[in-house]
Amino acid sequence: MSWNFVRRFARSVEQHGDRIALVEGKTSLSYADLAERARHVAGQLRPTLGEGRRVGVLGSRSIEACAAFLGTAWAGGTYVPLGLNQPEARLIALFEQLELDALIVDGTGAKRLSPELRRAAPDLVLVPDGPAGRFAPLASAPAPVPMTEPAAVGPEHLAYIIFTSGTTGMPKGVMVNSRSIGLYLDAIEPWYRLGPDDRAAETCETNFDLSIHNMMTAWSGGAALHMMRPLDLVAPARFIRSHEITTWLSVPSIITLMRQAGNLTAGSLPSLRLTWFCGEPLSEQAVRDWAMAAPNSVIENFYGPTEITVAVLRQRWQGNGPITPERGIVAIGTPIDGVEALIVDDKRRPVPDGTPGEIALVATQCADGYFRKPELTAERFVSFDGTSAYLTGDRGYRDADGVFHHLGRLDNQIKFKGHRIELEEIDARLREAAGSAMVGTVTWPMDGDTVKGLAGFFAVPGLDPEDVRAKLRSVLPAYMVPERIENLAEMPLSGNGKVDRKALVAMLDERADERAVA
């Protein structure tokens, strides 16, 4: 038996070959067309895949990125999406760390191939060539090996590596095997079975594991996946209506943007039958606004770190809850099949219902750990009664009805614009840019529990904040560079001599209050 998850797509090709599988702008591919693209990519990759089998994909929401995803899996490779918003120095460091066998770029990714990046890339680089979804090698390469069927792989085969923010200044790669992604898709399929009449929207960047959810839930059922281009994300309501989208997954912050633009009115999204929200807290007001606009849609709040394979707890919105009263957000619910959630104390002992503690997730679908970070893996990936488990670092509790509630982080990790960010990673780069250890990054402003911005501070006499900003832009993705960067005469410190983040936030709040009064 092969555990290659792309077999699910291959079955849909057999059953729905002439139906539309993928749409980007005015270009669409049938299942048969997309399978031809995947086989073509797989044939080009197969001769070069070594022991690591790692294939980097530098692209965004595009037909080429989807073909690269499917082709990598078809060849039996390990898919490694690399965000286009990464600065060059960070990409080069990732190339060196990953030792890729091949790199595939879409049209936008090809524009990033500077001479420096090309020198750090593997020998085989595939660039767009001809019809949408087809590629040619940038330099001479071995002859392709035809692959009519997906490569057979075992359950321990590394399916993909997704990078999340790390505390050391470099992201950490979460390794997910074929068994884990297969178990996840099996667990959610009975509840959310998509069919040939469904039209799903791809709202996520390729370096989010939610994009894998979107691709595989659509293509396992014969549905059409519609790529959202940057301009489409500015007006998502119009996109949903024009394409009659039936299934939607995104971070909840998009609701606020749509509401502010006046695009979330009663009954304005009638085509939606299924909505997932994941990646950020879902406020009660936001879910009510969405339910009003999409009266025909089931709404599910998903929770789950990348380390446990996409999502593992789900809560269907029932019209009046359940709500986490401490935060005014929808509860994260109960575990999906095959997953056990626990609340544990600092000694990893389960605590009684109603008692806050750390959320621990016990499941066979746990990731394999962090790529080439054994110490960090041992710290976060543990065992409960012989079953793999992940200590999330999230604080929560289980109520008397068995429903789990999320109370925030135990550390300085945040979610911003759907990205998981370690504030310490920004601090690490801020220290380098400012040449000082006296730095601090905070989330500000806040809209309830939603992060609306970042602010960075340092205390170095005479140093221009814009010079610091320029250095940060060269080493951090744009979404991690604080909008506000200030040089303070004196950094506020706590009683133990650490930078006092609460005092920094209080200072910003006080200034905002003064402006409001003025």
Q: How confident is the model at residue 169 (pLDDT cuts 50, 70, 90)?
A: low
pLDDT band (50, 70, 90) for residue 167 = low
Residues 6+ apart with CB under 8 A from 502: none
Instruction: Give the pLDDT confidence score for residue 515 in this predicted structure.
Output: 85
In this model, does residue 327 exceed pLDDT 80?
Answer: yes
Is pLDDT of 464 > 90? Answer: yes
Looking at residue 517, what is its pLDDT?
A: 79
In the block, which residue shows the tokens 């470099």?
170
Angle, alpha carbons 467-426-345 (nearest 5°) = 165
Helices (H) and strands (E) counted in the chain, each on its own, are: 16, 31
* Out of 37-41, 209-213, 359-363, 417-421, least confident range: 417-421
Tell me the helix, strand and coil percentages in the chain, rounded to 5: 35, 30, 40
Architecture label for domain 325-409 = Roll (2.30)
**Environment class of 11 (CB within 10 Å of its CB; exposed 0-12, middle 13-18, buried 19+):** middle
The per-residue pLDDT of the chain, averaged, comes to 93
pLDDT mean over 162-167? 81
3-state class of 127 per DSSP?
strand
SS3 string, 413-448, reads EEEECCEEEEHHHHHHHHHHHHCCCCEEEEECCEEC
Among the ranges given (332-341, 443-452, 457-466, 478-487), the one the predictor scored with the smallest mean pLDDT:
443-452
Please state the pTM of the whole predicted model: 0.86
Taking the domains of the chain in order of start, what are their residue ranges? 7-177, 325-409, 418-517
Radius of gyration of the chain (CA): 23
Q: Domain 7-177: which topology?
A: Rossmann fold (3.40.50)
- CATH class, range 418-517: alpha beta
Distance, CA of 356 to CA of 326 (rounded, Å): 12
**d(C-alpha 415, C-alpha 413), whole Å:** 7
Place of tokens 């009064």: 517
pLDDT reported for residue 341: 97
Whether the pLDDT of residue 281 is over 90: the answer is no
